[in-house]
Structure formats: C-alpha cells, structure tokens
Structure 1
Amino acid sequence: MKPYNIYISAILFIPLLFLAVSFNKPIQDKWVAPKYADKITNPLKGDINSVASGKKLYKVLCFVCHGPKGKGDGMGGTGLIPRPTDLTSEAVQSQTDGAIFWKITEGRSPMAGYKTSIPEKKRWEIINYIRTLK
C-alpha cells in the first residue's frame, strides 16, 4: 500500500466514523428535574374536585400530544422527537408531584413550558389527574 493510500483511507474513514458515532447517540438525555423540585409540595393533594378539573384541563391542553389515556400516543405527538412521554409509565408515576410540576412549568423541547400560560393551581390539578392514569 502506498503512503498516499493511507491518507486517502483516513480521509474517507474519519467522516464515516463521525456519522456512526453521531447517529448512535440518544436524541436527548433522560429528563430529570433538579433535586430541589422534589421538595415542592402539592397544595391540592387529595382534593377530589381538583382531579375532575385536571381532567378537563388535560383534555384541552395535554390530550393532543399525550393521548386520551396518557400513553404518549396523541395525534399531535406523532412527529415529535422525542415522542411525548407515557404518563402512565412507572418512570412518570414514581416521580414526585414537585418534579412533575417543575417539568410542566419549565418545559423542554418539544414540550412547551407553561409557567406563564397555565396558572399554578391549574398545573397542580393536571398533576392530580395524571396520578389517576396509573
């Protein structure tokens, strides 16, 4: 093999290696709320009326992406990367209310943050409804 063939091989190989490594990375890391979010307490925990209100809000605001039963299979979420979270999953249901509240409040692409568009009480109502999706 002539010396210049080694350089040509390296020039062709390096971009292929880059592509292989790049496309094997997860699209996004696991979404974890900061530790302080676990200490945020749900002021409506156990409020049955808040569940009914949360269900109505869910149908208006969350249903389109998270689906009718919270499985992450809503029509609006089919083209999203990453796909909407399955709210019935152990991964979600095992999170504290504070962590879920933080995620709804702050958002992360492609999910919007709802700090200014959904009042705090309404976000808690949605969380209380999400808890019924187990």
Structure 2
Amino acid sequence: MKANFKFLALLTLLITTGTKSIAQEISWYAPEYSNSLQNPFVGNQKATDGGGEIFNQMCVLCHGVKGQGNGEAGRTLQPHPANFTALNVKNQTDGAIFWKITNGNAPMATYFEILTDDQRWKLVNYIRELEKK
C-alpha cells in the first residue's frame, strides 16, 4: 500500500512538473514582418521612464514588479505571462515585442485601442530595461 502511494505521489509530481514546463515552453511568435518595425525611442531615457509608468499601471498585475511573469493575477493564467528577463524575450526584436503588445494573445489583452503607438514603444523600452536588471 505504501509503495502504491509513493508511486502515485511521484507520478503526480512528474505530471505536474512536466505539464508546467511544457506550458512555459510554448512559444508565441510574432509575424516575420514585425522584425522590421523600428523603435523610434531607442536610447531615449525619458521614453523608457514613461514606459515604466505605463508598466506599473497596466502590466505589473500579471507580469510582476520585476517583469518576471509572477504578478498576482498572472499566477493563475495559462499560459503564464512572459518573463521579460528570460532569454527567449531578450532575443526578440523590439518590433516583435511591440507587435505582441499591440495584438495580444489570450489571456493577454490587445492594447491596440488602449495604448497609443508611442506608449507601446515606450513599454518596449522599459521591457528592455527590465532585461538588464
């Protein structure tokens, strides 16, 4: 009986861990053309600061204070919110990140009608800042 319980406990642990890992590896790709979109605010610290304000108002709840995808609301979402400090985000172009913010992908909302183009580019700048920390 104890052996069966240990086996079931181990099996449950493996399934749970395996499922979580698979869910985090699912990729969301922006279309190829998004890679050619140019960030008009590259190197603009004032824009980056503005992106931080927007991030704190609109993104922290899901993505967390440090952008690691561990915000209060994000913990229950499937798939989990992006970890902006992860290599798979760092390797994306500014245009791809801008496209994702613009278009969304459930459970992430689309911000096309909520934020202006400039605000979304400023968020891209701030996300790049989070990657450095």
**Superposed pair shares fold, TM > 0.5:** yes
**Which residues of 2 match residues 16-95 of structure 1 at below 5 A?**
29-95=26-92
Task: Among all aligned residue pairs of Structure 1 and Structure 2, give the percentage whose two residues are the same amino acid.
Answer: 41
- CA–CA distance in structure 2, aligned partners of residues 30 and 95 of structure 1: 12
Identify unmatched segments of 5+ residues in structure 2: 1-18
Q: TM-score, normalised by structure 1?
A: 0.78
Q: Which has the larger radius of gyration?
A: 1
Out of 101, 104, 126, the residue aligned to residue 101 of structure 2 is 104
Q: Secondary structure at the residue paired with 2:105?
A: coil
- CA–CA distance in structure 2, aligned partners of residues 65 and 46 of structure 1: 26
Q: How many correspondences in the alignment?
A: 110
Q: Secondary structure at the residue paired with 2:118?
A: helix
Identify unmatched segments of 5+ residues in structure 1: 1-23
Structure (1 or 2) with the greater helix fraction:
2
Q: TM-score, normalised by structure 2?
A: 0.79
What RMSD over aligned residues (CA atoms) do the two structures have, in Å? 1.4
